[in-house]
Amino acid sequence: MSNQTAMTEFLLLGFSDVRELQILYFVVFLVLYLASLLGNLLIITAIALKHQLHPPMYFFLMNLSILDLGSISVTIPKSMANSLMNTRLISYSGCVAQVFLVFFFASADFAILTIMAYDRYVAICQPLRYETVMNRRACIQMAARAWISVILYSAVHTGNTFAISFCGGNMVDQFFCEVPQLLKLACSNSDLSEVGFLIFSVCLASSCFIFIIVSYIQIFTTVLRIPSEQGRHKAFSTCLPHLIVVSLFICTGTFAYLKPTSSSTSGLDLMVAVLYSVLPPMTNPIIYSIRNKELKGALSKLVGWRSLRIKCPYFSVSNNFILCFFI
């Protein structure tokens, strides 16, 4: 493979060469994928159908669930198909599409999380201005700008990635087309512009992360002044899970894209990739509904199996058996 024009396909990394383990990985990924699909689809449907769930917070949560559906659907199905059919191939165009979509959904996900932090800041720290600042038009504009900007960003990033020449073969040491692993295949010095773009991307993401942290410092400072213990508990239970999701996402993503690349395959690389590509879309429905009574009530009505209520052993709340898994 002397250059990118001769490259027609890539070989993705398999989790194992043992057939039985390949089937096991397929089953595990299938369970994780279906759990994420069901959880996010339930939230999207509940928010769309329930009139009481139309404030800005739920509007952005629905956007987040849509992005999570897309994010996990880019990498997991292809990996499952390869495990099931005992193959590792992905076409050149398929790899390009995967890189673009991974960047798009990850960037949009983080943009929406940043907007949600701002929404909580205005709601708690400036409640008298909330209706004015976070009106319907402003929310739609913020979401639209986030989507449009990440489309442009992802297109530039993808074009910059595949403008390099590949001289190191076609073996990608990851279960999907990840940019750091693609750069290992680049000719000498041909990936400098892409490395610079990655550093710029991390700096941009770090700026958003700092904005989120500063917003929550202001939120926690305001919450501590609330005389009601119940009000403080509700605010903290909403903010802390959000911070956990954001921290997990930014830390694993930054580690995956900035750590020094090695010539050998690392199990740590696979673990980190699973953490930032699979775990957030699966856990977001749990985190954002576990303490939200309105959303739990809407999900209960949506599922509609009230006669099958059981006591959930982990959260000590009464829910039907499906919601007990997600809430």
Is 93 part of any domain? yes
Positions of the chain with pLDDT under 70: 1-6, 51-54, 168, 188-195, 198, 230-238, 241, 254, 256-267, 289-327
Is 301 part of any domain? no
Is 139 part of any domain? yes
Instruction: Check residue 30 and give its pLDDT.
Output: 92
Instruction: Check residue 22 and give its pLDDT.
Output: 86
Instruction: Check residue 295 and give its pLDDT.
Output: 65
DSSP letter at 271 equals H
The sheet that has 89-91: what strands, in order across it? Answer: 89-91, 9-12, 171-172
Kindly provide the b/e burial profile for residues 269-304, where b requires at least 16 CB atoms within 10 angstroms of the residue's own CB.
beebbbbbbbbbbbbbbebbbbbbebbbebbbeebe
Rounded Cα gap, residues 104 and 194, in angstroms: 17
Instruction: Check residue 326 and give its pLDDT.
Output: 37
Specify which residues 263 forms β-bridges with: none
Is 231 part of any domain? yes
Q: Residue 182 corresponds to which tokens in the numbers above?
A: 């693609």
CA atoms within 13 A on the CB side of 169: 8
Q: Residue 90 corresponds to which tokens in the numbers above?
A: 């992905």
**Residue 56 belongs to a domain with what CATH number?**
1.20.1070.10
Q: State how far the alpha carbon of 89 is from the alpha carbons of 71, 85, 176, in Å.
A: 21, 10, 10
Instruction: Check residue 98 and give its pLDDT.
Output: 93
Choose among 267, 258, 253, 287: nearest CA to 71. Answer: 253
Q: Give this prediction's pTM.
A: 0.80
Is 319 part of any domain? no
Instruction: Check residue 51 and give its pLDDT.
Output: 61
Is 323 part of any domain? no
Is 308 part of any domain? no
The range of the structural domain enclosing residue 128 comes to 4-291
How many distinct structural domains can be found in the chain? 1
Is 313 part of any domain? no
